[in-house]
Amino acid sequence: MDINKKEELEINYWRDSEFESPKKFSKGNLLNKLQECRNLDYKINKHLNIIKNKKSILEIGAGQGWASCYLKSFYLKHSEFTVTDISSYAIESIVNWEKLFEVKIDKYYAAKSYKLSENDNQFDLIFCYAAAHHFVLYEETLIELKRVLKDNGYILFLYEPTSSKLFYTLHRYYVNKMPHHTPEDVILPSRIKLICSKIGLNYENQYDPYQPIIRNIPIGLYFSLIKRIPILQKVLPSSSDLIFTKLKK
């Protein structure tokens, strides 16, 4: 699909959604995000060594920005947060999450992952949650994130669907058959590795089939099987956290 068309769908989903539009802070939206908070909390603790003590944080593909509000409220109270998403209709709703988690996000605005209005070398930590597989322009995004990241800073792409080349088409077909409103991609760790060696970022893919939220029984069983047999995680459709570092030259 043409990238402009895809981005238009991403942007307008948030305007038109019955339960996630900025017109109303719906109960369904609240319950859904609170459930996601459990998964985010697990990811934060898993990567706490990287996350703790970081002072300037950027979230990209943040949707309504609930994850940054949660992180600030419970783990990084005194850090400075910048929160972005391609859709201004998504970002508009951040005020609800600020209120709920009793925090103030320092700066938020609509921006594409590969075109941020930020100076070079600004952030200690850049993260996204369940979002990078929507970005499509991975190389452009990683070049831009490297630009705004400080030396020795970290980028975390958390909770991303990943696949080997062998199962890429099947996994992509599957994720797009689920009831989603925007087309989704699946991340190929081998492709990201090539991009990183080209642009000079250190990169590690951590398969993580642990799923605190069981979305349905067959999926729950599938992930508990591949959790027990790590070799399967590399070949079959899986879930990953991607960790990038910008080492000082």
Residues that bind ligand SAM (CB under 6 A): 10, 36, 60-63, 67, 85-87, 90, 112-113, 129-131, 134-135
The answer to whether residues 247 and 150 touch, using CB atoms and an 8 Å cutoff, is: no
CB of 249 to ligand SAM, least distance (A): 27
- Measured between its terminal Cα atoms, the distance across the chain in Å is 38
The percent of the chain in helix, strand and coil, each rounded to the nearest 5, is 45, 20, 35
d(CA 203, CA 192): 8
Query: Least separation, in Å, of the C-beta of 152 and ligand SAM?
Result: 25
Q: Using alpha carbons only, what angle is made at residue 113 by residues 18 and 193, rounded to the nearest 5 degrees?
A: 120
DSSP 3-state of 175:
helix
The Cα 207–Cα 238 span in angstroms is: 7
Handedness of CA 83, 134, 212, 166 (dihedral sign): negative
CA dist., res. 73 & res. 88, Å (int): 23
Q: How far is the CB of 215 from ligand SAM (least distance, A)?
A: 13
Minimum distance, C-beta of residue 60 to ligand SAM, in the bound complex (Å): 5
- How far apart CA 149 and CA 171 sit, in angstroms, is 31
In whole angstroms, give the CA distance from residue 94 to residue 62.
10
| 123-129 and 56-59 strand pairing | parallel
Strand 202-207 relative to strand 123-129: parallel, antiparallel, unpaired?
unpaired
Nearer to ligand SAM, 36 or 124 (CB): 36
Q: Which is nearer to ligand SAM, 46 or 234 (CB)?
A: 46
Residue type, 205: N
Residue 31 CB, nearest distance to ligand SAM (Å)? Answer: 13
Name which of 89 and 223 has its Cβ closer to ligand SAM: 89
> Which residue of the chain is nearest ligand SAM when measured via CB?
63
Residue 78 · residue 103 · CB < 8 Å: no
Q: Please identify, using beta-carbon distances, which residue of 178 and 225 lies nearer to ligand SAM.
A: 178
Closest distance of CB 231 from ligand SAM, Å: 28
Judged by beta carbon, residue 33 or residue 150, the one nearer ligand SAM is 33
> CB-wise, 61 or 189, nearer to ligand SAM?
61
Nearer to ligand SAM, 112 or 150 (CB): 112
Nearest approach in angstroms of CB 51 to ligand SAM is 16
